[in-house]
A and B are shown apart, each in its own frame.
Chain A
Amino acid sequence: KAGVTQTPRYLIKTRGQQVTLSCSPISGHRSVSWYQQTPGQGLQFLFEYFSETQRNKGNFPGRFSGRQFSNSRSEMNVSTLELGDSALYLCASSLDGRGETQYFGPGTRLLVL
């Protein structure tokens, strides 16, 4: 069974632009969570989608948004990029309705110049 896939793997943007990242969960998984990983702040939870609805949200500004499609694929959008948004963005999927055991993708490394 294929793992979590994320596209693109690398991305370079400039301040003020917006970006959309994509995540395809493991087949059959209905929950997708997004995390931001930086050297300074570590791994931080962004939000979770389950059955196309945002069920959980971390402490990030409204510039960070996401959505989930009927096939469980998810996208994350960051508008008005700031230098501090440079990070590895990780997507994790889980099978069970509790969202307990999460399987991570390889991440998208975003560099904002």
Chain B
Amino acid sequence: QQQVKQSPQSLIVQKGGISIINCAYENTAFDYFPWYQQFPGKGPALLIAIRPDVSEKKEGRFTISFNKSAKQFSLHIMDSQPGDSATYFCAASRRRDTGRRALTFGSGTRLQVQP
């Protein structure tokens, strides 16, 4: 059961453009939504995260938009740069009965920013 659906699978954007990646989740118990960036040969690195009590969060050129009623959230990369070319993963987590959390990841979006 894929609990977090991510689209598109791949994305090509021109330098200076806006990259938009979308995710949708099913489990309403999710209460923490991070985005990770992964370069080839590296582990995922946390970019930005949001909680459902906030509709938008911005950090530099990266913005998360969150729509709780639609159970959707998206990552916007403004002024995209060639150095942003990487694979991006959305994720979601909830507190389990053990009190602990585990990340459920989307399938990933391979972003290529052309110079």
Contacts and interface: CB of A to CB of B under 8 A. Distances in A.
Interface in B68-115: 89, 93, 95-96, 98-108
Interface in A25-63: 31, 33, 35, 42-45, 48, 50, 55-56, 58
Contact of A101 (B46, B95, B100, B105): B46
B44 A100 contact: no
Contacts, number: 62
A104 B96 CA distance: 21
B102 A56 contact: yes
Contact of A4 (B43, B49, B102): B43
Given A43-B89, A50-B100, A56-B102, A98 B43 contact: no
Contacts of A66: none
Contacts of B49: 101
Contacts of A7: none
B93 A43 contact: no
Contact of A58 (B34, B42, B99, B102): B102
Interface of B: 32, 34, 36, 41-46, 49, 89, 93, 95-96, 98-108
